[in-house]
Amino acid sequence: MESVNYTISNELYGEGGCSSVYLTSNNENKTYDYITKVYNSNKIGQKEINIMEYINKFSIRNISQLVTHGCTKDDELYLITKRINGLETFQYINMCHNVSENLAKNWFKCLLDSVYDLHNIGIIHGDIKTENILINDMNFINSITLIDFSNSKKLNKGQSSIYTNKLIGTAYYMAPETLNECEYSYQTDIWAMGVTLYTWISGGYPFKSTEKAKLGKYKSMESEKWSHVSTECKDLIKLMLTVDKNKRIT
């Protein structure tokens, strides 16, 4: 596939429910420093492109940036972003089982900066999870990039939440109000951040089921694997995994 200034390879780089991702090179230097997301649903594709075009107007820290977008010869929408060379934090955890509190702290600071900036411009990410957070460089693993805005939503001025007619996102990371009422807000991103931080440190999800998540019954943080984790870190996770969204830390 050809795009102005870019060549989209036939090499599949990744695949999701609504899109396929391909390695992409800049026609000037011929290096595969980009990836192209090709959508099998133009409705979803246009939604993500609109969100990313809006985000590009601002200086948002630690997120994937839209380079360009267009339409293939088969009338499929695509968008091109810079390629991140590191692993998903999900893959890293699978390799190492969990990460130290210090490394999780560095990752969380980057994630917090991203989410703070997004919320300041009215954007709910909508699918924060370990798979959507990439390590920038495997030789320097302290910094990360938040990707995938296909489930993101923009709040209008004065609007505090959005309701959908079905669940959108990843069940393990959904807040109780999302599971119960399909409600999305800044607070649902905070809940997902709590699940993410718990997963980084423990190597597993905090809830055995979505029914447990609805009740806020997360697995104990008093086991051996948590013995070297600070009280401050555990308290932060508890505050983010508060069932009542109005009492959840913001």
Instruction: Enumerate the active-site residues.
Output: 127
| CA–CA separation, 76 and 2 (whole Å) | 13
Residue 166 class from Cβ within 10 Å (0-12 exposed, 13-18 middle, 19+ buried)? Answer: exposed
Residue 226: which of 235, 215, 216 has the closest Cα? 235
- Token duo for residue 128: 């924060």
DSSP-derived 3-state class of residue 242: coil
- Token duo for residue 26: 């800049």
Number of Cβ atoms within 10 Å of the Cβ of 158: 5
Distance of CA 100 to the CA centre of its chain: 21
